[in-house]
Amino acid sequence: MNTSSAAKARSRAIKPKAGFCKQALVANRKTYEKLYRQSLEKPEKFWGDASREITWFKPWKKLLSWKPPFAEWFVGGKLNVSFNCLDRHVASPRRHKAALIWEGEPGERVTLTYAQLHREVCKFANVLKSQGIKSGDRVAIYMPMIPEAVIAMLACARIGAPHTVIFGGFSAESVKDRINDCGAKIVVTADGGYRRGQVVRLKESVDAALPGTSTVTRVIVVRRAGLDMSLGDRDVWYHEAMAAASDQCEAASLDSEHPLFILYTSGSTGKPKGILHTTAGYFLGALLSTKYVFDLKDEDLYWCTADIGWVTGHTYVVYGVLGLGGTSLIYEGAPNHPEPDRFWKIVEEHKVNIFYTAPTAIRAFMKWGDDWVKKHDLSSLRLLGSVGEPINPEAWMWYYRTVGQERCPVVDTWWQTETGGHMVTTLPGAVPMKPGSAGLPFFGVDLAVVDESGAEVPPDTGGRLVIRRPWPSMLRSIYGDATRYRKQYWSDVKGCYFTGDGARRDRDGYFWITGRIDDVLNVAGHRLGTAEVESALVSHPAVAEAAVVGKADEIKGQAVFAFVTVKQGITPTTELNEELRRHVGKEIGAIAKPDVIRFAEVLPKTRSGKIMRRLLREIAAGGEVKGDVTTLEDFNALASLRQQEE
């Protein structure tokens, strides 16, 4: 967003409705600022009070041990996340309250109360233990959005086995890479899952991945789609293992810094990074942000549409909501199956109160038309949220007016896999909303926009978005690579965590996120490393070289635009174009398939051999190539690419 459009959006700041403010946990800006100042100026007081949200087995002794860039929070404390999400609610009046409400794409529905979910989690924890899993062992979860996926996560947390959830849209190659990086001993998967009326055959991908691994001893398979398959020697049916398991399993008492999960996210190099989150700090961040950002009430039915394969699913489908004793709705399939009103049909029939989705989905809903929304009674909604990427003001206003009917606050949220929870948002009821702005910093987040030297820039000036002090839910490292962690996040701006995003802060203190500074694309809310896609393209025998950039897309935010040179003797054809797209899908997953592949004789490079990606971005955008091109080695490369423009 440029300065003029930011100013235009700022001029139509929208105040939350008075009726909502009266009931909100933070009812005005004065209260927000008091809490925010306390979180920075008196952290012992603020986090000490906040930590009472957790049931501790042993109280913590020291709030923070900070040896930059490595942090330990709530030092000496003992707890268990699964216990906090289940046992304490089972011992309360919430025992028979719905914890999970699930709807499958074909239409099946299952409700699990806290007591029922507790029983299933204990049983699966015992299944894992019977297969030799001990505290510290890693478990890979490659599942559709079904209750068993949540059960597996909570069972791992119960016995102290860090999980790595792999998005069900990823390929066998991606599954293999993640298993090998973390050394997972068990894979929990399903025969298949439903997506747009088709069965995604997950077990087949696992079978294709495992020959390239050496650590997996067992594969546990949920029968979801009823596919006809025979199991191998190391395979076990989930339902058979569960039938033999006890429903009694004591939650392990774990250190505050015990690893909770590893979640892989794309970086500016080809290898995905295993983001390591530990127990107490992450969990408290999830609890606090869920409580305040969504204004979660005990009677609410909350629906976050994210897959648990992403951090949004971890924090705001599972741990934050269940930790507070809320009811979390999960849906397996696509938003437009069988028709474009599937989400609104779910909202109406289940009487959803809080709805949290991505700008990608919102832009798709806009494209499909208002009539699909207006077919349904959405009067149960009281709060809307946005996540995954910056939301443009037009989409924000459509969401507010058409879905929320101008009575529901819209909370945009900026954060990352690495941050664990929300960093910037508009607390509902507390402050006016600015369409297109992520809002104000969350409690404990010391955020700034700085120049390349690390100096804070004036209001309404673009710069690098950094966090100037540690926060409880921060990543602790990149799994197995502390050197990369230090270099990736703490070397660009001295003493600060560099988010990789550009931003500006307006005169009211609101942050406006402008997007990635490095070579990481945000495609439909999913971070995708350009190097990862380039590596996949170059692995095809016909490709000599590839460069990938992002192109603005009204639906996905960014589209994947690839420039490819082929090997001598290969003729670029439409058929090869499609073959390369399929190849990338096989190597990484469908989300990484290039939207456009443009063949080139040569790629524009500097004399030192570096590809001039700035020029490629400009060409992909269809605009005029601007700026200095004096370092370009071969001007014919630029001329040939221009000739291909439509």
Q: Tell me, what's the pLDDT at 9?
A: 44
- Considering only CA atoms, which of 236, 239, 237, 249 is closest in space to residue 123? 249
Q: Please report, for residues 604, 639, 644, the alpha-carbon distance to residue 632 in angstroms, rounded to integers and kept in the order given.
A: 7, 12, 19
Secondary structure element (H or E) that encloses residue 534, with its range: helix 530-538
Residue with token string 């990862």: 532
Strand 511-516 vs strand 497-505: parallel, antiparallel, or unpaired? antiparallel
pLDDT digits (tens, 9 = 90+) for 308-345: 999 999 999 999 999 999 999 999 999 999 999 999 99
Q: Please report, for residues 23, 86, 410, the alpha-carbon distance to residue 373 in angstroms, rounded to integers and kept in the order given.
A: 27, 35, 17
Same fold, 110-249 and 542-643: no
pLDDT digits (tens, 9 = 90+) for 84-118: 999 999 999 999 999 999 999 999 999 999 999 99
Confidence of residue 646 (pLDDT cuts 50, 70, 90): very low
Strands ordered across the beta sheet of 98-103: 109-113, 98-103, 327-331, 301-304, 354-357, 383-386, 410-414, 424-425, 440-441
- Considering only CA atoms, which of 532, 572, 560, 573 is closest in space to residue 620? 560
Q: What is the CATH number of domain 542-643?
A: 3.30.300.30
pLDDT digits (tens, 9 = 90+) for 467-498: 999 999 999 999 999 999 999 999 999 999 99
Radius of gyration of the chain from its Cα atoms, rounded to whole angstroms:
24
User: Over 70: is that where the pLDDT of 142 sits?
Assistant: yes
Secondary structure element (H or E) that encloses residue 61, with its range: none
Helix, coil or strand: residue 526: strand
In this structure, what token pair is assigned to residue 386?
Answer: 């946005």
In this structure, what token pair is assigned to residue 294?
Answer: 């969504």
Q: Per-domain residue ranges for the chain?
A: 110-249, 542-643
Secondary structure element (H or E) that encloses residue 138, with its range: none
In this structure, what token pair is assigned to residue 410?
Answer: 């819209």
Q: What is the CATH number of domain 110-249?
A: 3.40.50.980
